Structure 1
């Protein structure tokens, strides 16, 4: 099962990596991540993804920001809901149109 980390923990972990990269004797990003991840008890790949997403969010790397991703998810949910509502309205209008076409007993 996936572990959920607090956003503040993620932010501190990313800050540790980025601060270490800004040092004069900085190694490569992957070397810093290999060094920091075990100290924090986080998988290297997880920390790498957090760092990459932080760089995207800061505009230092191309990609979809966290805010844009959340907006896309929200719009997809809204779109699915509107499609369901549209199908219900189509079914209802077909039902009522059939009722209007039926001859009535007098």
Structure 2
């Protein structure tokens, strides 16, 4: 049936990319030695170069998710505040009118 997708630790990915910088190492040879594809290794290398480390990438993703959550919460609170302001104005107008 379907193939099970292998998960690799950040430490494994970092160590694999570090191997690329050893004398005589090529992307193909390191990938074959580790039992991964050259494309995987290239992706990991580019991610590490872009983010500084796999940990930095994970932190950035977590920060982006937290920012999105906070934006949604802020929008909800702004809507609730607007409703409360309208209700307050409505009841204030009713309280001023003489009977």
TM-score bracket for the superposition, by shorter chain length: 0.5 to 0.7
Match of 2:23 in 1: 24
Residues 32 and 57 of structure 1: CA distance in aligned 2, closer, same or farther (over 3 Å): farther
TM-score (norm 1): 0.60
Find 2:63's aligned residue among 71, 80, 85.
71
- Could you tell me how far 1:23 is from its partner in structure 2? 2.7
For CA contacts below 8 A with separation 6 or more, give which structure has more relative contact order: 2
Number of aligned residue pairs: give it: 93
Task: Quote the RMSD (CA, aligned, Å).
Answer: 3.3
Distance in 1 (alpha carbons) for counterparts of 2:6 and 2:85 = 46
Q: Report whether the alignment pairs 1:54 with 2:54.
A: no
Find 2:32's aligned residue among 28, 31, 35.
35
TM-score (norm 2): 0.63
Distance in 2 (alpha carbons) for counterparts of 1:36 and 1:88 = 58
Distance in 2 (alpha carbons) for counterparts of 1:88 and 1:48 = 48
- Could you tell me how far 1:35 is from its partner in structure 2? 2.3
Structure 2: gaps spanning 5 or more residues = none
Any conservation in 2 of the 1:17–1:32 contact (CA below 8 Å)?
A: no
